[in-house]
Structure 1
């Protein structure tokens, strides 16, 4: 009897068999690569389409894709072209089974599966037993370049020029060791994958080429190119995603910027509560925290928690883009996390997800510019809240500090007065009228107001607060703290051990412990009998 359990513990399910109900995700452990490598940064909607096309077209040996869903017909056409013009390129595509939004009635995933199969491209569904959803989004090209995406292969993630899209971060890393890590995830999930079956899965409906138009100017159309020494830590759900998120938040010493669609599972004593506690702890140790989330979700519990703690939480502007779909963190302008991981207990504990932590100042600063752009256009749930930030994010003793009050929510009411309160350390408040120092926002409207604070000594903390009079009413913003630092201490946060929320491998081992003990007893008994003979 025990023999039937042993293979389950030590090897993935064979490719020609359906996964067992109790199959166990492989243990992908925390691993950091400190090396010289080349990295390309790009975001949607700005330059995502061009960069994905560039990397896929560069393939000479292989393209391995593990993704939640595909509804972009242009990408399907591109795969067809590569398969036709480069028949020697090994293409394998693994798509999420039962992916929400990618099945009936539109059914893009079955259509893609059907067409890839007709092309002769290797295709599988991810296991339907190991993960609630296979929500990861990564690509490995020629066993050396790995692309980590916040978005799917969707029209809203990789749009054509002039078309509307989500805000999403992407990164491409060229390094064989990093690629090997993600390939091990792909190989495991491929080994447990499910073959496409036309009678069962259907053929779906043809993908639509239609896309909504947008006048977004795409200021980040040019990708970032970086080379040099950096630390790269892959993270995956359900194994290390909570560990990675907590590592980033707990490392913050001066600034912490988070862009995430939503917070769910609040109050459930799971992974999300640990993340919220870590954010509150960062605020308590004097880290300046900013959060951009998605207005449509409007998760009141998290908003109330952060507002009560003095943490500003704004909603992604949707005048140029669809609701927020990014899942990123920037720490102290030197650490950045790009991932598919949402802040729900299910995403962290039950899904397959993929992400990466990069420790490299120039790369983190590249994404900071994108975050600051979105911050300047964000909306608040309460119109009384005003959006404020400054440049540079972490000023030094020689930096002039340009503080901007973003008042676009109030412009339509008729702004008559704008002032900025400034307090140096524990000194008294000074108020400056800045109504006349106005400039156009990215949308071309005169709704941003600025004040320049002179350089301050290293270690100074500057508190700022905006006040706007519009339509005869007074609106007062949240206090925010500018921290002047000539240097930031080294990253000394130990790799965190999250509070256990239930591990399927441990639980199954506990369940099987009596059988293992019985097998050991039987084995010892057999040895003793043999010796007596």
Structure 2
């Protein structure tokens, strides 16, 4: 039985017009919870959804983890109203969506290229959850088994540990911020004005993808951390296609001491990504001692190596960023993938978001993140970065010959099933 990656929904469709929205900053004074995958995302999410009293509103790109379906059904059994906007891509995801809708979830097929009728964004790639109009969770991770592995214990220091992607998130208690993000999701859902079942592009999944599981638990695990604000904190939402390219280049250019980045990939020759890299170069010109370090996601197969080598050559030649010294790849002995999209500047400001560094992500997709300056929160994420940097690979990987997996080989164990939405370049 050969196991392969099926064709995904094409993301080069013709888009309808979109009028960018104003994106103000917000002063928040409630709690903020910082969390990470694989360590604590599920524990935080479960705790918050279990505590929901009235409503859970979700906008997410990939939703394939069956235990997250159960979590939402449990909330509905308590009388909580659940709304889900999903970028539906694949038979399994479509069936999960149908089951939730049948149970009473208000489900909308996102207005992306995956929607056969309403196409406003290339991908609806945000990962935003609004609970009771009071909390908003903004994160890099999907509801897939690798981005939100079911580690029930927060920090997973004891018992069984499930490996997964490196992802990060922030849960922010603020009615005003929650209302803003709820309005973004509701406005996008309102663009789809027909019955969701009539708007989905059918995709047949006849194959699936597996890979070898990480062989060891990460050396350090990071429980979530709750921060009680001592006064109002300014939080800047960062949306695509609305204001990412208005906000982030300027913030990068103002860095004085350090820029730490975790990204799935950096397409350094694409137009908008070039602007982001030029902003970093500008900061380096002003502050020659500026520290720049980047952790990237895994390279999936041998065919991707030439493309990544060209990218690394450009980063070296154009920006002086060298593999090993400035750039490393996530350690796949400990993590499935680096699916993170995190930026930390000067050890005090942090962006947690869904935007990859590609032109589509910053200019054509629906994406969402938050930027804030809070040294203790930045320190939490810096510890995660330093852990991943220290263990990261300093050279390009060597690839063995591709394996053709049989049921007998899978039965011997040591493999994990992979969700395609975590890997797709968007």
Task: Provide the C-alpha distance between the structure 2 equivalents of 1:380 and 1:214, rounded to a whole number of angstroms.
Answer: 19
| Cα offsets for 1:357-381 (capped at 9, x unmatched) | 0111110011000000001001122
Task: Provide the C-alpha distance between the structure 2 equivalents of 1:26 and 1:335, rounded to a whole number of angstroms.
Answer: 29
Q: Judging changes above 3 Å, is the alpha-carbon distance between structure 1 residues 149 and 218 closer, same or farther for their aligned structure 2 residues?
A: farther
Residue 197 in structure 1 maps to residue 190 in structure 2 = no
Match of 1:163 in 2: 162
Contact kept, 8 Å, 2:218 with 2:334, in 1: the verdict is: no
Residue 69 in structure 1 maps to residue 62 in structure 2 = yes
Match of 2:140 in 1: 150
Q: Judging changes above 3 Å, is the alpha-carbon distance between structure 1 residues 226 and 319 closer, same or farther for their aligned structure 2 residues?
A: same
1:382-461 correspondence runs (5 A): none
Note the residue ranges of structure 1 that are not aligned, 5 or more in a row: 1-20, 384-533
Match of 2:103 in 1: 119
Alignment RMSD (CA, Å) = 2.5
* Cα deviation, residue 203, structure 1: 10
Residue 230 in structure 1 maps to residue 233 in structure 2 = yes
TM-score scaled by length of structure 1 = 0.62
The one of 390, 407, 410 aligned to 1:376: 390
Contact kept, 8 Å, 2:55 with 2:133, in 1: the verdict is: yes
Equivalent residues, number? 350
Match of 1:511 in 2: none
The one of 284, 297, 300 aligned to 1:294: 297
Contact kept, 8 Å, 2:250 with 2:279, in 1: the verdict is: no
Task: Provide the C-alpha distance between the structure 2 equivalents of 1:381 and 1:169, rounded to a whole number of angstroms.
Answer: 25
* Cα deviation, residue 173, structure 1: 0.3
Residue 108 in structure 1 maps to residue 92 in structure 2 = yes
Match of 1:29 in 2: 22
Task: Provide the C-alpha distance between the structure 2 equivalents of 1:114 and 1:382, rounded to a whole number of angstroms.
Answer: 41
1:225-374 correspondence runs (5 A): 225-228=226-229, 229-264=232-267, 266-268=268-270, 270-285=271-286, 286=288, 287-296=290-299, 299-308=308-317, 309-311=319-321, 312-374=326-388
1:473-484 correspondence runs (5 A): none
1:178-189 correspondence runs (5 A): 178-189=177-188
* Cα deviation, residue 77, structure 1: 0.9
Task: Provide the C-alpha distance between the structure 2 equivalents of 1:356 and 1:199, rounded to a whole number of angstroms.
Answer: 31
Task: Provide the C-alpha distance between the structure 2 equivalents of 1:36 and 1:120, rounded to a whole number of angstroms.
Answer: 34
Contact kept, 8 Å, 2:214 with 2:333, in 1: the verdict is: no
Note the residue ranges of structure 2 that are not aligned, 5 or more in a row: 1-13, 113-118, 152-160, 398-426
Task: Provide the C-alpha distance between the structure 2 equivalents of 1:217 and 1:272, rounded to a whole number of angstroms.
Answer: 31
Task: Provide the C-alpha distance between the structure 2 equivalents of 1:218 and 1:57, rounded to a whole number of angstroms.
Answer: 30
Q: Judging changes above 3 Å, is the alpha-carbon distance between structure 1 residues 205 and 196 closer, same or farther for their aligned structure 2 residues?
A: farther
Which structure shows the higher strand fraction?
1
Contact kept, 8 Å, 1:70 with 1:108, in 2: the verdict is: no
**Equivalent residue of 2:390, what SS?**
helix
* Cα deviation, residue 245, structure 1: 2.2
Q: Judging changes above 3 Å, is the alpha-carbon distance between structure 1 residues 201 and 118 closer, same or farther for their aligned structure 2 residues?
A: farther
Structure label with greater radius of gyration: 1
TM-score scaled by length of structure 2 = 0.77
Task: Provide the C-alpha distance between the structure 2 equivalents of 1:346 and 1:203, rounded to a whole number of angstroms.
Answer: 22
Q: Which has the higher contact order (CA 8 A, sep 6+)?
A: 2
* Cα deviation, residue 61, structure 1: 1.1
* Cα deviation, residue 200, structure 1: 6.1
| Cα offsets for 1:408-432 (capped at 9, x unmatched) | xxxxxxxxxxxxxxxxxxxxxxxxx
Runs of 4+ in 1 over 4 A off after TM superposition: 198-206, 210-214
* Cα deviation, residue 276, structure 1: 1.3
